[in-house]
Amino acid sequence: MRALRSAWTAVSDVFTAVPAEPPALPAPVEGDGGFGNRLSAHLVRRPGRLVVACLATVLGPAVVTQAGAMTSPPPTPQPAESPETVTTPVPGVRHTWVPLANKAAATCPGLPASVLVAIGHIESSLGLQTWTSSAGAMGPMQFMPATWAHYGVDGDGDGSIDIMNAVDAVHGAARLLCANGGGDPERLASALWNYNRSDDYVRHVIALSRLAPA
């Protein structure tokens, strides 16, 4: 407000200083600042334009600043970060299976992600050997079709629960282990035995999971 009052005083002075009848100017001399002389004469003969010029000089910065404050659009909101997604792991490439195992293990608090990676490694060399076993087990986590019918999961959200899909299979393995107590360290061995009823299998999975934690 203080700046606007000062500006208004300056404008009032300009209006007061403009004569009602501007004095006649001598004819401009060619070659002696001709353009400057013509511009000065034009402004003096038209007091309104002289006042506008003075207004622009006095109020220009304040007006521009105020106008900018009123008309500047709000900053464009930044898009929210998309939720973390886990892509299909590369067969046989362990580090591409770890993010998937971590996400699947998170659905069963207490279940080590490294156990899921170890099962995938033992069952199919992490997706390299997904053919049907002699017992009828299928896919990268070697599910029996009847078991898959109860514990299969649409892990990648594509609308299909596919026993051959690595993302679905790892999530299904986490669900099966969790249903058998896999989230409890005291019951993990029992959960693994229910996954594949072999004591050697249980020892192998646990040893491998400790050797290469996810």
Indicate the number of domains in the chain: 2
Q: How far is CA 120 from CA 70, 95, 161, in A?
A: 61, 12, 18
Does 111 lie in the same domain as 15?
no
Does 54 lie in the same domain as 118?
no
Give the C-alpha separation, 40 to 50, whole Å.
Answer: 9
Predicted confidence at residue 86, as pLDDT, reads: 65
Does 19 lie in the same domain as 61?
yes
Does 98 lie in the same domain as 144?
yes
Q: Dihedral sign, CA of 87, 194, 146, 133? A: positive
Predicted confidence at residue 63, as pLDDT, reads: 39
The secondary structure element, H or E, covering residue 38 is helix 34-45
| Tokens describing residue 195 | 């996954």
Q: Give the residues across from 143 on adjacent strands.
A: 138
Does 125 lie in the same domain as 206?
yes
Does 119 lie in the same domain as 55?
no
The secondary structure element, H or E, covering residue 211 is helix 199-211
Tokens 């004469």 sit at which residue?
Answer: 41
Asked if 44 and 22 touch (Cβ cutoff 8 Å), the reply is yes
Domain for residue 88, yes or no?
no
Domain for residue 112, yes or no?
yes
Looking at the whole model, is its pTM more than 0.85? no
Give the C-alpha separation, 150 to 179, whole Å.
Answer: 11
108: containing domain: 94-211
Does 203 lie in the same domain as 110?
yes
Domain for residue 148, yes or no?
yes
Domain for residue 120, yes or no?
yes
Does 101 lie in the same domain as 50?
no
User: Which amino acid appears at position 99 of this protein?
Assistant: P
Domain for residue 156, yes or no?
yes
- The pLDDT profile of the chain, 214 residues, written as one tens digit per residue, is 554 455 445 445 544 444 444 445 445 444 444 544 554 454 444 444 444 444 444 444 443 344 344 444 444 434 333 345 668 999 999 999 999 999 999 999 999 999 999 999 999 999 999 999 999 999 999 999 999 999 999 999 999 999 999 999 999 999 999 999 999 999 999 999 999 999 999 999 999 999 988 7
Asked if 18 and 51 touch (Cβ cutoff 8 Å), the reply is yes
Give the C-alpha separation, 123 to 133, whole Å.
Answer: 10
Does 126 lie in the same domain as 29?
no
Instruction: Residue 189: name the closest of 132, 62, 200 by CA.
Output: 200
Predicted confidence at residue 22, as pLDDT, reads: 47
Does 129 lie in the same domain as 201?
yes
Predicted confidence at residue 213, as pLDDT, reads: 80
Coil, strand or helix at 28? coil
Domain for residue 80, yes or no?
no
